[in-house]
Chain A
Amino acid sequence: MKRLLLLFLLSPVVLFSQTRRQQSIDSIKAAASTNLKGIPALLGSTPGTRLENLSVLDSGEYVTIITRFHVVNADAIKATPPKPVIILKTDSVTDSLTTANIPQIPPFIEEVRLIPTPNVILKTDSVTDGLTTANVPQLPPFIEEVHLISTPIVILKTDIVTGSLTAANIPRLPPFIEEVHLMPTPIVILKTDSIADLISVVTIPPLPPIIIEVDTMLAVSPIALLKTRIPAGKMDTVVVPDLEEKKYPVAGMHFSDEGYSLLEKLEGFSPELYSLKDGGYTIGFGFFVPYSEGTKWEKGVTWEEAEKIIRQKMPQYEDQVKKFINVPLTQNQFDALIMLAYNLGGFSKATSIVNDINSQADFDQLRNDWNRFVHSKAPGVTKGLINRRRDEIGVRNDADYQPKRKVNIFKTRKQ
């Protein structure tokens, strides 16, 4: 009885709030309609622009107004001058990279966003209008591409996805990504509305020339989705030009952190002596120990000790590569050679590879010679060596610092 009485008393309040809400929705609709009506006028002066579709959806909780139109000349959208945002992209980082350990981030970078593929998007809005891709100062060496786009739209693009990737199985998307659009070609466009409050239909800034389609959704907060109908291959040539690989004189180079990470995975960690069956043991991350010196390592090593040891040993392999190679290399090319030298137990043995690199032989020849190092007197290691060479070539050619197979980090086979 009391509940009925309470309901009766509150019903005018509920009705009033529903009325207010409906008024609010109507005002949004009206405002949106005004805007939508303005769109053709806004674009009318541009030949070839046409409104293709216009629809209003009322879900009860919010209103979505979708307009789809074609803009042949994107510059037709008049707007305020863009506030430049710079997106720095790299694919040279590995999963081990976190926002905490990215080295040498220049001070103007304010945000670092990691996505699950080996891409890192760095975003800043603190740059000035005068900034161009050419004059971005003090970029860390792992940054390979710079794209200037206009706020408040963020388009994240990757071309490293495979055909098997779907919107559903892209793992671990960062929280600010709300939608994933897969293009027929292996291009993924990720969309965010985390900055959408800043925009409206009329303030969409001049769009980059590759954008020929604009889908505008007005909801509680406006969301803009910019898409391209240019085939991805062409888009690559427009938006993501192949930048010349940066090569450095080997004298100043060092094995990269990505290299260490992959090498540790490939070598596996053994806290105790691990028999090689051919004259010695390994311990830690594949450190060779002759049978005669086995007693020195009876106590074993911890992971931390092994990481320290591998970093102490690496300069010797770096020096060997520097001694033999007399042409500039990219970081990943250098890393691949170090990994090979580590596995061979010295770079002086890789004479064909040295000759190929110094004489700048074509890649097929280098790959053939690289893949020759799969012979061993030790039994049953050829398959592992084939895989190892493939991993090194992946680093050398594609800066791919991921193992090509499932690797077992922990090894135990004591004798």
Chain B
Amino acid sequence: MRRYFYILTIFALWPWSGTCSAQAIDSTKIIHSLNTCWRPIAHEFSTIYGLEEEEIKRYLKQQICFTNDSISMYAGTLYEPKYSIRKVNAENYAKDNFDCSKQRLYIYADSLFEITISSLTKPSENGTIHKMTNVIAFDEDCIYVVVDGVIFKLFDASRKTERRSGN
């Protein structure tokens, strides 16, 4: 009976033991997890950045939405997204990209998925379609999007609260 109690305890605690930190899960699941709209909940500045105050205010009201076929981001809608995913240490991500600690970027997970998105633009007036590359980070709870030196942390718009995880 005691043995079953231990097992039940382990299963009960499992979701709270760092689930927000990136686990080794398959790409399909990660991509599927992205397919929603994300609303900004925090932002932080790089040492040098390129956004005006008004733009930051506007972006803080703007959602980013992923579907299977498109992504609506700040620069416009991107089509036929293809994803390349790699797991990175969150502290290293913060240091490499922003020369700061992960806490300063509101990252609480130990590791992140750095997701490189290759997509196509809408055809221009002369019919030209351009290939675009965007990189976001994902900790299975929130996404982190950098726009001209300002990093925005976005939370699933359909959910009510952010789940803090990791350390």
Contacts and interface: CB of A to CB of B under 8 A. Distances in A.
Interface of A: 276, 278-280, 288, 290, 316, 323-326, 343-346, 348-352, 354-355, 358-360, 369, 372-378, 385
Contacts of B148: 349-352, 369, 372-373
Nearest to A375: B49
B120 to A, nearest CB: 10
Nearest to A347: B97
Contacts of B147: 351-352
Interface stretch (B34-42, B126-134, B153-161): B126-134
Nearest to A348: B97
Most buried by B among A276, A290, A316, A349: A349
A348 B133 contact: no
A-B pairs with lowest CB-CB distance, top 7: A372-B50, A359-B130, A373-B50, A349-B149, A345-B99, A346-B97, A375-B49
Contacts of A279: 47, 100
B133 A354 contact: yes
A69 B130 CA distance: 58
B13 interface: no
B50 A359 contact: no
Interface string B44-69: 01111111100000000000000000
Contacts of A373: 48-50, 148-149
Contacts of B51: 372, 375
A258 to B, nearest CB: 23
B22 to A, nearest CB: 18
Nearest to A278: B47
18 contacts: A280-B99, A323-B116, A323-B133, A324-B133, A326-B131, A346-B46, A346-B97, A349-B46, A350-B149, A351-B147, A352-B50, A355-B132, A358-B131, A359-B132, A360-B128, A373-B48, A373-B49, A374-B48
A344 B51 CA distance: 13
B47 A326 contact: no
A348 B130 contact: no
A358 B132 CA distance: 6
B98 interface: yes
Contacts of A374: 48, 50
Contact of B46 (A325, A344, A369, A385): A344
Contact of B99 (A288, A358, A360): A288
B56 to A, nearest CB: 10
B146 interface: yes
A278 B100 CA distance: 11
B12 interface: no
Given A290-B99, A324-B133, 9 more contacts: A326-B131, A349-B50, A350-B148, A352-B50, A352-B75, A358-B133, A360-B130, A369-B50, A377-B45
B88 interface: no
A326 B133 contact: yes
A374 B149 CA distance: 11
A369 B130 CA distance: 18
B121 interface: yes
A312 to B, nearest CB: 15
A280 B101 CA distance: 12
Interface in B109-147: 116, 121, 128, 130-135, 146-147
A313 B97 CA distance: 14
A109 to B, nearest CB: 40
A352 B52 CA distance: 13
B131 A375 contact: no
Contacts of A346: 46, 96-99
B75 A345 contact: no
